[in-house]
């Protein structure tokens, strides 16, 4: 009993000593992630097309460093994956698919690793992003794309965060890619009805602008004015 009491006392001392450091680290990670989100929005929505590849390449290196520093946190992995997808999308030229696919594969693996740490991190962003990867990437001998897997992940994302802008946008985009315009319609409409994300004004404006464009395409196919 004396030994147990001594061990418990030591454990409490360790917990009391470690708690402030953990909270400080959490704040530091959150601040770093918000910075990455702002830089991603700038790269995606406010950077000329001929400069995007270089900007995203630098951002990949920055996000990878954060992932390495906080290897036990899910959030850096999620955002490194998102940024790698942006880098892949920014690549041009005939060899772009061969250069882009490793970025998407690394992104997928980061998301699966993040899921093992915290599947609910960032309002289900793991599943939103995995879903988008699986329907955007080619399948067969070229890539890992799979529309059924994509829909499974997107359904999970919507179930976890029904009012999340990205979850709704990518579900709408999935159905648009499938030419299921009636299915896509309510998701794009919801994106436009959602309030802007307070700390991410450029992202909110950019995502809604994309939704406006795609909603117009959907309404045209459905003969809705």
- Report how far apart, in Å, the C-alpha atoms of 215 and of each of 21, 135, 154 are: 47, 19, 19
pLDDT at 49 over 70: yes
Number of domains in the chain: 2
For residue 136, give the CATH number of its domain: 1.25.40
Structural domain ending residue among the three candidates 161, 178, 212:
161
- Residue 79 DSSP SS3: helix
- Following DSSP, what letter does each residue of 117-177 receive, concatenated? H-TTGGGGHHHHHHHHHHHHS--TTT----HHHHHHHHHHHHHH-TT-HHHHHHHHHHHHH
Structural domain ending residue among the three candidates 145, 161, 177:
161
pLDDT at 156 over 90: yes
pTM of the complete model: 0.87
| 177-205 burial code (b ≥16 CB/10 A, e <16) | eeeebeebbebbebbeebeeeeebebbbe
Q: How far apart are CA 181 and CA 148, in angstroms?
A: 18
**8 Å CB contact between 157 and 127:** yes
Task: Give tens-digit pLDDT for 20-38.
Answer: 335 455 689 999 999 999 9
Average pLDDT, the chain: 89
Q: How far apart are CA 29 and CA 67, in angstroms?
A: 10
Least-confidence region, from 90-99, 117-126, 159-168: 90-99
128 and 145 housed in the same domain: yes
Q: Is residue 15 part of a domain?
A: no
Q: Is residue 4 part of a domain?
A: no
Degrees, nearest 5: CA angle 93-94-96: 65
Q: How far apart are CA 225 and CA 50, in angstroms?
A: 35
126 and 137 housed in the same domain: yes
Q: Is residue 23 part of a domain?
A: no
150 and 196 housed in the same domain: no
Residue 2 has a pLDDT of 38
Structural domain ending residue among the three candidates 137, 161, 185:
161
Both tokens of residue 8?
């418990």
Domain range enclosing 86: 33-161
């Amino acid at each position: 009993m004396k030994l147990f009491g001594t061990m418990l006392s030591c454990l409490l001392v360790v917990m009391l000593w470690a708690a402030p450091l953990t909270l400080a680290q959490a704040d530091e990670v959150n601040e770093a992630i918000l910075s990455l989100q702002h830089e991603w929005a700038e790269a995606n929505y406010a950077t000329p097309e001929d400069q995007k590849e270089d900007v995203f390449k630098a951002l990949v290196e920055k996000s990878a460093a954060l992932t390495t520093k906080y290897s036990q946190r899910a959030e850096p992995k999620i955002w490194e994956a998102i940024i790698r997808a942006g880098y892949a999308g920014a690549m041009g030229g005939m060899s772009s698919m061969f250069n882009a696919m490793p970025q998407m594969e690394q992104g997928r693996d980061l998301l699966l690793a993040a899921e093992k740490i915290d599947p609910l991190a960032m309002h289900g962003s793991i599943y939103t992003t995995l879903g988008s990867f699986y329907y955007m990437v080619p399948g067969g001998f070229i890539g890992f794309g799979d529309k059924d897997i994509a829909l499974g992940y997107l359904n999970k994302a919507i179930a976890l965060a029904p009012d999340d802008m990205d979850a709704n946008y990518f579900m709408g985009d999935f159905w648009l890619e499938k030419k299921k315009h009636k299915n896509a319609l309510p998701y794009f409409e919801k994106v436009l009805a959602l309030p802007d994300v307070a700390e991410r004004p450029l992202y909110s404006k950019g995502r809604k602008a994309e939704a406006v464009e795609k909603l117009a395409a959907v309404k045209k196919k459905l003969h809705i004015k």
